[in-house]
Amino acid sequence: MALTARLNLLGGFRLDIDGQPHAVPASARRLLALLAVLHQGRRASRSALAEMMRPDSDPARATSTLRSVLWRLPRDRGRALVLGDALEVWLHPDLSVDLWEAEARASLLCGTDSPSVEDLPDLSLLTQDLLPSWHDDWLSVEQESFRQRRLHALERGADLLCRAGRYHDALRAGLGAVRSEPLRESAHRQVIAVHMAEDNHAEALRQYDHYRRLLADELGLAPSATIRRLVAPLLGRPVDLPSRAE
């Protein structure tokens, strides 16, 4: 019988068993996250995991802590979520992880061969960050790496959907990137491009003005020439374009 457990790491930690949320102790949460994020389902050394979980403890105490955590992990109808032997542990191969699915969708969208619109994956998994409330040192690089991949994927998805005339879905993808990073110009450009494709010129200019004001308030900067040229045709004249001397 297949394992019916799902580990959710996007937007926050949640373990579902048989479709229902299951309480997980803090130490067990960290172990599951380590195996899912750093090891991506591959086998991990017991000693390395123990050291990461208890970096301030001596090896014997850290190893004992790891054994205790493994013993207390939730089980799906008696089946362990984490398997192991004397030297290594690994996630059960049937355990589904939302991060892995999101990574696969981002890779598909940002690969060298663009998928057809019919083959575009659901983009909803790409709208949330990896464990945003966690601030562990080992996690920070992984959080930023995933954030950049998902933002690029959302923008690429918005572009493909816009080209196919699926403007509503394109806007959802573009605005998802904007919400995730309000100062990201490429995301605002994509939203503006969708509005222009729909001939919603007022919406395009409103989006540009929102970004211009936000950038000025937050960083004291002006939008780039690229985005200014994008909206310039809407007024039939250059819009805030830099002078030749700039």
Residue with tokens 């939203």: 191
CA–CA separation, 11 and 47 (whole Å): 30
Residue 46 placed within a domain:
yes
For the stretch 83-121, pLDDT in tens is 999 999 999 999 999 999 999 999 999 887 778 888 888
pTM of the model: 0.87
Q: Determine, yes or no, domain membership for 74.
A: yes
Q: Check if the beta carbon of residue 228 is closer than 8 Å to that of residue 241.
A: yes
Would you say residue 66 lies in a domain? yes
Check whether 231 has a pLDDT greater than 90: yes
pLDDT at 246 over 50: no
Q: Which H/E stretch holds residue 211?
A: helix 201-219
Domain range for 76: 5-96
Q: How many domains does the chain have?
A: 1
Cα 96 to Cα 41: distance, rounded to the nearest angstrom:
10
Predicted confidence (pLDDT) at residue 78 exceeds the cutoff of 80:
no
Residue 210 is predicted with a pLDDT of: 96
Does residue 188 fall inside a structural domain? no
Name the token pair of 181. 């990073």
Cα distance between residue 59 and residue 48, in whole Å: 10
Instruction: Answer with the residue of higher pLDDT: 48 or 237.
Output: 48
Is residue 240 in some structural domain? Answer: no
Residue 155's pLDDT band (boundaries 50, 70, 90)? very high
Which CATH number belongs to the domain containing residue 53 in this structure?
A: 1.10.10.10
In angstroms, the CA 75 to CA 48 distance is 24
Helix (H, G, I), strand (E, B) or coil at 19: coil
**Mean pLDDT of the region 7-29:** 93
pLDDT digits (tens, 9 = 90+) for 116-150: 888 888 899 999 999 999 999 999 999 999 999 99
- pLDDT at position 32 is 95
| 240 pLDDT higher than 70 | no
pLDDT at 241: 59
Q: Is residue 77 part of a domain?
A: yes
Assigned domain for 201 exists: no
What confidence tier does 42 reach under pLDDT thresholds 50, 70, 90?
Answer: very high
Average pLDDT on 40-68 reads: 88
In a domain, 23, yes or no: yes
Distances (CA, A) of 99 to 4, 105, 210: 17, 10, 32
Tens digits of per-residue pLDDT, 187-214? 999 999 999 999 999 999 999 999 999 9
d(CA 104, CA 170): 20
- At residue 2, the pLDDT reads 66
